[in-house]
Structure 1
Amino acid sequence: MKIALLGYGKMGKVIERIALERGHEIVLRKGSQDSFDGLENADVAIDFSVPSSAVLNISTCFNSGVPVICGTTGWLEHYDEMVALCNEKNESFIYGSNFSLGVNIFFELNEYLAKMMANLKQYNVSMEEIHHTQKLDAPSGTAISLANGIIKNTSYENWTLDDAKGHEIHIEAKRIENIPGTHSIFYDSNVDQIEIKHTAHSREGFALGAVVAAEWIIGKKGVFTMKDVLFSENRE
């Protein structure tokens, strides 16, 4: 499989190493100032760039007939626009706020717990996310996905970084050096607390998930999620 890497920072370099270990070829390594030369040779593009580059990267790929795996967060106001372009060009697309296989299991656990807690009004839910100091957006895309999973299954209506009011979920976003990513969800009552937590030990899990998603999407058309990849019978 020939891969175009859109974004060649720390994450891009880890993806490159894992892709090469799995027998793939890198045909484009694009930093923020580089051209798209070589994209025409790619079977798939993996975008871990920055919010200001994501829309151009994704649209260029679709217009060039290249499917996209995108793990860049902070650009989702344009998500529907990119989905429409994907469908117009009969291409394939997976956006994930987090490509770690463990985190995607955590997403499912989060929704299951939210359904169980939905009618237990004595519990208030809150969240905490911790990332490295280079992370540009807050809260993280993963935290937003987790919050939306709770909102979908409960009477909560929104999330906030400020003090929660009414049907809001408070998210505390912390930035600490050398923390790949930790997400915790708390259900607090007067008598106890229930907590579920995912801790990433390195970027390896995110990178492996992105490469696995790239392998999975070859030959498919449409817009998918990591849930499709995670529960597919042909996933390695």
Structure 2
Amino acid sequence: MKIALFGYGKMGKMIEQIALQRDHTIVAKVDVDAKEIDFCEMDVAIDFSTPNAAYGNIKGCLEHNVPIISGTTGWLNKFDEIVNLCNETKGGFIYASNYSLGVNIFFELNEYLAKMMANLNQYKVSMEEIHHTQKLDAPSGTAISLAEGIIKNSDLSQWKLGKAREGEIPITSKRIDAVPGTHTITYDSKVDSIELKHTAHNREGFALGAVVAAEWIVGKTGVFTMKDVLNLG
């Protein structure tokens, strides 16, 4: 499979290593200063670029019939435009805030726990996410996905970075050197606390999931999620 990488930072380099190990070929490494892009050689593209570049990368691929998966966060105000474009061009697109198998199982556990806690008003939910200092956005896309999963299964209305009001989920974001990603959801009451936590030990799980998603989407039409890729129902 011929893969184009949009964004060639730490994640892009790790995705390259795993793709090569799985007998794929990297035909392009598109960084922020790229002027011309040859879409003809690509079977699929993987975007781990920047919030400012992601929309243009995804749009260009869909317009040139290249299926693309994106793990870039911070651009989702234009997500509906991409969905419409994907449908118009009969393209293939996956967005995930996190491609790790473990994190996607964590998403499912988070929603299941939120349903169980929905009527237990004595518990107040909060969230903490910790990432490396190079991460550009806060809160993380994974934290936002987790918050949305809770909101969908509770009476809470929205999330808030920092101090929250009644009906909101407070999210604390920390940036610490060399932390790949830790997410903790806490339900706290006067008598006890319940914690759900995922800790990434390195970036390899994210990169492997991205390559697996890229392998899966080739030949498919539509907008998909990692639930589709991993058959999580």
TM-score (norm 1): 0.97
Aligned length: 233
Q: Report how far residue 39 of structure 1 moved.
A: 2.3
Alignment of 1:74 with 2:74, yes or no, is: yes
Map of 1:136-151 to 2, 5 A cutoff? 136-151=136-151
Provide the rounded CA distance (Å) in 1 between the counterparts of 2:32 and 2:163: 36
Q: Report how far residue 219 of structure 1 moved.
A: 1.1
Q: Which is further off, 165-174 or 37-46?
A: 37-46
SS across alignment from 2:40: helix
Give the AA of the match of 1:85: L
Note the residue ranges of structure 1 that are not aligned, 5 or more in a row: none
Provide the rounded CA distance (Å) in 2 between the counterparts of 1:230 and 1:223: 15
Alignment of 1:196 with 2:171, yes or no, is: no
Cα distance change on mapping 1:36 and 1:205 into 2, 3 Å: farther
Give the AA of the match of 1:205: G
The answer on whether the counterparts of 1:28 and 1:36 sit within 8 Å (CA) in structure 2 is no
Determine the structure 2 residue equivalent to 1:222: 222
Map of 1:65-104 to 2, 5 A cutoff? 65-104=65-104
Give the AA of the match of 1:204: E
Q: Report how far residue 166 of structure 1 moved.
A: 1.1
Q: Report how far residue 231 of structure 1 moved.
A: 1.3
SS across alignment from 1:40: coil
Give the AA of the match of 1:112: Y
Provide the rounded CA distance (Å) in 2 between the counterparts of 1:85 and 1:187: 40
Provide the rounded CA distance (Å) in 1 between the counterparts of 2:228 and 2:159: 26
The answer on whether the counterparts of 1:28 and 1:39 sit within 8 Å (CA) in structure 2 is no
Note the residue ranges of structure 2 that are not aligned, 5 or more in a row: none
Identity score, percent: 67
Q: Report how far residue 161 of structure 1 moved.
A: 1.3
Deviations 1:37-75 (A, max 9, x none): 332111100000000000110000011110010000000
Map of 1:1-236 to 2, 5 A cutoff? 1-231=1-231
Provide the rounded CA distance (Å) in 2 between the counterparts of 1:159 and 1:197: 18
Provide the rounded CA distance (Å) in 2 between the counterparts of 1:177 and 1:59: 33
